[in-house]
Amino acid sequence: MRATVMYGAGDVRVETVPDARLVDPADVVVHVTRAAICGSDLWPYKSMEPDETGRRMGHEFIGVVDAVGSDVHTMKVGDLVLTPFVWSDGTCVFCREGLHTSCLHGGRYGFDGVGGGQGEAVRVPQADGTLVVLPVNRDDALMPSLLTLSDVMATGHHAALSAEVGPGKTVAVVGDGAVGLCGVIGARRLDADRIIILGRHPDRIAIAKEFGATDVVSERGEDAVEHVRELTDGSGAHSVLECVGLDQSTVTALSIARPGGAVGRVGVPQDEAIPDALPVFMENITIAGGRAPARA
Ligand SMILES: [Zn+2]
């Protein structure tokens, strides 16, 4: 079968690889019908050291079940299924608490002998605890939207949950990329009163407004902080969604949270430390977030 393999920064090849096949009784093999590229794929695309073995890519996909292990009970050959971006057993202590990303028996696509979603087929371990059977056919008009539930929409929603978005609250979303835009949808679903999007790409801002953003802040750094404060009677936002992961965007996110507010971080941090420890402490600002348990 054919699959994408990344060998280093800027070096992605479509190659013939061994066919995906059942290894464990809890596995299924999925024939991939839709797959996406993640923002997190862009970091190795920019910076991966050359590697002769290469790395199989892709962790967001929808497909048709091709083969079912003897210990799989919730799906059959021919079912259309969606995967969250990691696999999980669905039964361990963390899965039962809804934190499937910390599954004791889970793992990541593209590692430990499991292939990636950017290929013709994938062996999915722990299929019962991982895959979700979709009640539509493979050409349904909703397919592009359903594919976002693999990662980006779940991640935006997780940012909103982590930032404690709720009725009556003012929300600020830092970042107008795909995750930030899904964060706007998440904030609206959780009944935010007001949603301020921080971003400067006119096409994306237009989408953010369509999704429910009520205010736009297009400045950066100190000017952005000042603008958000002007919009919030000087106090800042109750809930801030950090959807970038850079030091500057994190400083901005922490600076626009009001005292007692919460920041939900879902941008993969590109720095070791969280900045502004003292002001965040003095104002009782909660810092939460992390990898989204998309399966939950
Ligand atoms: Zn588990």
Which tens digits make up the pLDDT trace of 72-111?
A: 999 999 999 999 999 999 999 999 999 999 999 999 999 9
Residue 272 predicted with pLDDT over 90: no
Centre of ligand 1 from the C-alpha of residue 110, in Å? 19
Centre of ligand 1 from the C-alpha of residue 143, in Å? 27
The token duo for 284 is 């009782």
Centre of ligand 1 from the C-alpha of residue 97, in Å? 9
Considering only residues 272 and 284, tell me which one the structure prediction assigns the higher pLDDT: 284
* Residues 201-259: tens digit of each pLDDT: 999 999 999 999 999 999 999 999 999 999 999 999 999 999 998 889 999 999 999 99
pLDDT of residue 134: 97
Centre of ligand 1 from the C-alpha of residue 275, in Å? 32
Centre of ligand 1 from the C-alpha of residue 105, in Å? 6
Centre of ligand 1 from the C-alpha of residue 291, in Å? 15
For the stretch 9-36, what's the b/e string if a residue is b when 16 or more beta carbons lie within 10 angstroms of its beta carbon? Answer: eeebeeeebeebebeeebbbbbebebbb
pLDDT of residue 177: 94
Centre of ligand 1 from the C-alpha of residue 88, in Å? 5
The token duo for 18 is 């061994």
Centre of ligand 1 from the C-alpha of residue 107, in Å? 10
| Mean pLDDT, range 268-289, rounded to an integer | 91
Contact criterion met (CB below 8 Å) for 37 and 29: no
Quick one: which H or E segment has residue 47? helix 42-47
User: What letter represents residue 184's amino acid?
Assistant: V
Residue 273 predicted with pLDDT over 90: no
Centre of ligand 1 from the C-alpha of residue 103, in Å? 3
CA pseudo-torsion sign 260, 277, 154, 77: negative
Rounded CA gap, 263 and 268, in Å?
Answer: 14
What is the share, in percent, of the chain residues with pLDDT greater than 90?
93
pLDDT of residue 43: 86
C-alpha distances (whole Å) from 8 to each of 5, 13, 26, 43, 268 are 9, 10, 33, 11, 20
| Mean pLDDT, range 186-205, rounded to an integer | 97
Q: Which of 62, 91, 75 is nearest to 28 (CA)?
A: 75
Residue 170 predicted with pLDDT over 90: yes
The token duo for 234 is 């000087």
Where residue 53 falls among pLDDT bands split at 50, 70, 90?
very high
Contact criterion met (CB below 8 Å) for 172 and 196: yes
Rounded CA gap, 123 and 272, in Å?
Answer: 34
Centre of ligand 1 from the C-alpha of residue 38, in Å? 23
Q: Which of 109, 110, 155, 145 is nearest to 130 (CA)?
A: 109
Centre of ligand 1 from the C-alpha of residue 62, in Å? 21
Least confident of 175-179, 211-215, 274-278: 274-278
pLDDT of residue 282: 95
CB neighbourhood size of 47 (10 A): 10
| Mean pLDDT, range 169-174, rounded to an integer | 98
* Residues 3-42: tens digit of each pLDDT: 999 999 999 999 999 999 999 999 999 999 999 999 889 8
**Chain mean pLDDT for the chain:** 96
Measured between its terminal Cα atoms, the distance across the chain in Å is 31
* DSSP single-letter state for residue 109: T
Residue 66 predicted with pLDDT over 90: yes
Question: Can you tell me whether residue 239 is helix, strand or coil?
Answer: strand
Centre of ligand 1 from the C-alpha of residue 108, in Å? 13
Centre of ligand 1 from the C-alpha of residue 280, in Å? 33
Centre of ligand 1 from the C-alpha of residue 26, in Å? 13
**Burial class of 272 by CB neighbour count within 10 A (0 to 12, 13 to 18, 19+):** exposed
| Mean pLDDT, range 287-291, rounded to an integer | 96
Least confident of 187-191, 237-241, 277-281: 277-281
Give this prediction's pTM: 0.94
